[in-house]
């Protein structure tokens, strides 16, 4: 590998560590609780991939005033016990039995709250799957089937949540309706592109504005349907007026992008945030990003007036989707990186990386991928075809054999993905 | 519609007219012929969608020195006779009987050329389809089937050309091998993203570097195969050493983007050329572009440091692809515009347009589409679903009912597509 590219990869490694450090949930919660009345008892539910860190920060601030605490998080995400909290680990991205257990405990916790009692919800991404109680007449298997079907047909997370809310006894504001006399305050670490409260963790304390027509449109779009019992619930209305909840958003993909820009700037790249709401197909985003890299790198060889000048960093935040057609293993960040690698093959001084701020990308142990102009030849040297691996949605194995996976382990935060193209 | 948006659309209309005016082929050919020896006879073949304009400019410069002239262009693209030239109009994007007639005449014209005689080739896009002679043992139907199959499976134009060259008696340098004693000079108006001479009009006078392995990879990628006679030819080698040809490229997508940037700048937008080599799926490019629009427009409402500032124009050149799944009518520019319209629905002061510089987009009479934040509601007002029309690849009807088609008629040039996002 070219020395300069190698140096850029080391820079990128430091950027990734730095960016994650800036979006950890603890400090965000501490900041949000600064003005929260501390000397009255409060029941706390922390839900999502960042639940432990958020709960720990709440415990630090509210101490013994937490009368009952519940953490519902993903397997492997609770690092030991948190004082004052009971912990349930559950399934993601497909809900499992423990998701139902967590939901039952959460429902008990809020039902017990009397008039004027306080409930604090600490919500982070992943909550849609981690806490789940099927509506009467449905089973967990129904919900798992629906989730798997939607995940594999390329539906966006927004669309999946719109559907799942209808099938759930806790989503779409239904948790909040269990304690109409209590005062709920929610602090939300957003993993949803537009910080839409009803989307984050499928809005357990937020009214659902989804209409029956919108549900119908999603079914039509992906040409799917479900069993009669699921279909019946799909067209049952969810709560539209909830008035015992106040909300505060404390993290978002915008902050993630801003930190990426700051770190890129400190490394001498001119940063441009091009989108904080990426929502297209991962493979196609990779192609488009590679075409931008080619244009930027050609342009300094003469012909450019209005193209972006090197050294520069192009930044996209958001959450792409993968329409699964093959049988490989990967995630949206890895797939985008592999696709981009094909488009920048042979180029010098170009590095692209994309990762999930939560440290996981699809059903893999990687957070994403980091590729350069030599990635494709590294894969071919192993006797593999990067094109075919991409076709097979097998970005994990392609990047693994090139040494191009980003592995951070669970980070404890979840404010979406960020993709960065570095050109020197 | 918001007044400001209406004004932006009028600006955009003027930009489109201006951009096309700058990339017309006549002046490019005149410039290229400035140093061409004028007092010796020369045989001229003008091939492609811009053939008439290029031939007329050659006639103007070389006058009676043109000993024999042949124009091969698309139906409707020859506006009356060009003195000194015989004209054949033929099929595009699928070759027809007239493509074979044109090829026969071109082969005669070059075969007649003796030692030291000069041949001038004026090449523009579309030539791959407009001039075609099946290799011995194949029929035009074989080639039509192959072309249709490749077009509908989402293969890129580069991939299509790699395949078609193998089946042709004139592509991939084979025309040039018919007159090894003559001196060929080609002036090429490029419609290929990276100005690769062997790609433009499938390189009738350019050696073919495609390997059998590359052909095999394309077949694997799209999981397609053809009849035994086609398969046999697919793996027959094409000429690798051609030394009677000199070449000059006179137009390209880079110029197209540069002119778009210039016009945008004159209208008060800060222009950024983000790519001159767009090659991803049209619908996904539209989504990504819309997400950029949302980020730009949110950003001036407070939170942005490194995002692009309004008023700005983001410019992408190149050629997206459409994987046809539905039964509608459209083109890649129209599909990208419709997809972007869904992503910018409801936004003020955002206009996006994309068009083919040749004035045609897919099998429609439109050059592309121009959309704004009201496009989606205009379509819905007509009782149609823009989402469903997009799913059906029916961008033409969606944009038509919104009054959002760009219709220029054939422009006489062909230097690829340009897409422009305007944010005020």
B307 interface with A at CB cutoff 8 Å:
yes
Contacts of B275 in chain A (CB under 8 A): 288, 291-292, 294-295
Where is pLDDT greater, at A36 or A302?
Answer: A36
CATH class in words for B3-21+254-423? alpha beta
Residue ranges per domain, chain B? Answer: 3-21+254-423, 36-251
- CATH class held by domain B36-251: alpha beta
Q: Is the pLDDT score of A300 beyond 60?
A: no
Residue-wise pLDDT tens digits, B11-67? 999 999 999 988 888 888 988 899 899 889 999 999 998 899 999 999 999 999 999
Q: Supply the pLDDT for residue B302.
A: 39
Asked if pLDDT for residue B242 goes beyond 70, the answer is: yes
3-state secondary structure of B305: coil
Q: How many residues does chain B have?
A: 424
- Rounded to whole angstroms, the Cα distance separating B68 from B63 reads 11
Interface check for A307 against chain B (CB to CB < 8 A): the answer is: yes
Evaluate whether B203 touches B197 at the Cβ level (below 8 Å): yes
- Tell me if B109 sits within 8 A of B71, measured CB to CB: no
Confidence of residue A63 (pLDDT cuts 50, 70, 90): very high
Share of chain B above pLDDT 70, in %: 98
On the question of pLDDT at A65 being above 90, the answer is yes
As a whole number, mean pLDDT of residues B150-168 equals: 89
- Is B318 a residue whose pLDDT tops 90? yes
Q: What is the pLDDT of residues A31-48, one digit of tens each?
A: 889 989 988 999 999 999
Between A375 and B210, where is the model more confident?
A375
A274–B295: do the CB atoms touch at under 8 Å? yes
- Residue B227 has, within 13 A of its CA and on its CB side, a CA count of 12
Please report which confidence band the pLDDT of residue B249 belongs to, taking 50, 70 and 90 as the band edges: confident
Stretch A108-116: mean pLDDT:
94
Q: Which residues of A touch B213 (CB under 8 A)?
A: none
Listed in sequence order, the residues at least 6 apart from A77 whose beta carbon sits closer than 8 Å to its beta carbon are A49, A51, A52, A89, A410, A412
Please state the separation of Cα B177 from the chain's center in Å: 26
Percent pLDDT > 90 in chain B is 74
CA angle B12, B15, B18 (to 5 degrees): 155
User: A residues 168-207 near B, CB within 8 Å?
Assistant: 194
Interface test with A, best of B256, B306, B317, B326 (most A CBs within 10 A): B306
Report the chain B residue with the minimal C-alpha distance to residue A213.
B385
Q: Is B308 on the interface with A (CB under 8 A)?
A: yes
- Scanning every residue of chain B, which has its alpha carbon at the shortest distance from the alpha carbon of A276? B295
User: Average model confidence (pLDDT) for chain B?
Assistant: 92
Q: What is the pLDDT of residue A305?
A: 64
Among candidate residues A270, A355, A280, A281, the one with its CA nearest the CA of residue A314? A270
* Sign of torsion over alpha carbons A158, A160, A166, A170: negative
Q: Which of A273, A385, A389, A391 best tests the B interface by mutation, with the highest count of B CBs <10 A?
A: A273
In chain A, the percentage of residues whose pLDDT exceeds 90 is 74
- In terms of average pLDDT, the best of A213-227, A290-304, B94-108 is B94-108
* pLDDT computed for residue A205 by the predictor: 94
Contacts of A279 in chain B (CB under 8 A): 287, 291
Checking if the pLDDT of B304 tops 70, the result is no
Sheet of B183-189: strands edge to edge? B85-90, B66-74, B42-47, B118-123, B183-189, B245-251
pLDDT band per the 50, 70, 90 thresholds, residue B363: very high
Query: In this model, does residue B107 exceed pLDDT 80?
Result: yes
The greatest distance separating any two alpha carbons of chain B, rounded to the nearest whole angstrom, comes to 72
DSSP B144-183: HHHHHHHHHTT--HHHHHHHHHHTBSSTTTTTGGG-TTSE
- Pick the most confident of B213-217, B306-310, B390-394: B390-394
Per the model's pLDDT, the better-predicted residue between B189 and A108 turns out to be A108
pLDDT higher than 90, residue A302: no
B374 pLDDT above the threshold of 70: yes
Residue of B254 and A316 predicted with greater confidence: A316
Other C-beta atoms within 10 Å of B120: how many? Answer: 24
Q: Considering only alpha carbons, which residue of chain A is nearest residue B312?
A: A306
Of residues A49, A69, A53, A168, the one with CA closest to residue A119: A69
pLDDT tens track for A323-376: 999 999 999 999 999 999 999 999 999 999 999 998 999 999 999 999 999 999
- Cβ(B272)–Cβ(A294) under 8 Å? no
A391 close to B (CB below 8 A): yes
Domains B3-21+254-423 and B36-251 share a fold: no
Average pLDDT of chain A, as a whole number: 92
- pLDDT for position B308: 87
**How far apart, in whole angstroms, are the C-alpha atoms of residue A46 and residue A32?**
14
**Cβ–Cβ gap A306/B258 under 8 Å:** yes
Chain A / chain B CB contacts < 8 angstroms: 113
Q: State the pLDDT at residue B237.
A: 82
pLDDT tens digits for range A256-278: 999 999 999 999 999 999 999 99
């Amino acid at each position: 590998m070219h020395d300069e590219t190698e140096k850029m990869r080391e820079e990128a490694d430091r950027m990734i560590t730095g960016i994650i450090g800036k979006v950890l949930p603890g400090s965000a919660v501490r900041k949000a609780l600064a003005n929260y009345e501390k000397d009255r008892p409060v029941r706390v539910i922390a839900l999502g991939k960042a639940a432990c860190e958020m709960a720990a920060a709440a415990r630090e601030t509210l101490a013994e005033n937490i009368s009952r605490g519940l953490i519902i998080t993903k397997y492997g995400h609770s690092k030991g016990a948190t004082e004052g909290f009971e912990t349930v680990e559950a399934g993601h991205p497909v809900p499992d039995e423990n998701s139902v257990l967590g939901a039952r405990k959460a429902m008990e916790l809020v039902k017990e709250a009397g008039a004027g009692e306080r409930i604090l919800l600490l919500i982070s991404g992943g909550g849609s799957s981690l806490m789940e109680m099927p509506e009467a007449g449905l089973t967990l298997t129904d919900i798992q089937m629906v989730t798997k079907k939607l995940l594999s047909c390329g539906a966006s997370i927004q669309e999946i949540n719109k559907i799942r809310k209808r099938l759930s006894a806790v989503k779409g504001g239904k948790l909040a309706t269990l304690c109409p006399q209590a005062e709920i305050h929610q602090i939300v670490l957003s993993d949803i592109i537009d910080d839409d409260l009803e989307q984050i963790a499928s809005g357990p304390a937020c009214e659902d504005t989804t209409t029956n027509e919108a549900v119908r449109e999603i079914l039509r779009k992906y040409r799917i349907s479900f069993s009669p019992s699921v279909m019946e619930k799909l067209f049952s209305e969810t709560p539209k007026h909830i008035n015992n909840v106040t909300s505060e958003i404390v993290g978002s993909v915008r902050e993630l992008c801003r930190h990426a820009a700051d770190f890129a700037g400190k490394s001498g790249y001119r940063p441009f945030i091009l989108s904080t709401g990426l929502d297209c197909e991962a493979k196609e985003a990779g192609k488009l990003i590679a075409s931008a890299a080619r244009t930027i790198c050609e342009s300094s060889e003469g012909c450019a007036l209005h193209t972006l000048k090197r050294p520069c960093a192009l930044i996209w935040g958001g959450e792409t989707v993968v329409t699964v057609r093959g049988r490989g293993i990967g995630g949206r960040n890895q797939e985008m990186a592999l696709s981009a690698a094909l488009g920048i093959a042979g180029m010098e001084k170009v590095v692209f990386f994309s990762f999930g701020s939560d440290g996981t990308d699809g059903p893999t142990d990687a957070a994403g991928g980091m590729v350069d102009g030599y990635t494709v030849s590294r894969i071919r040297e192993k006797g593999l075809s990067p094109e075919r691996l991409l076709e097979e949605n097998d970005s994990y194995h392609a990047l693994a054999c090139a040494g191009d996976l980003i592995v951070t382990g669970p980070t404890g935060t979840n404010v979406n993905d960020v993709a960065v193209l570095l050109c020197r």
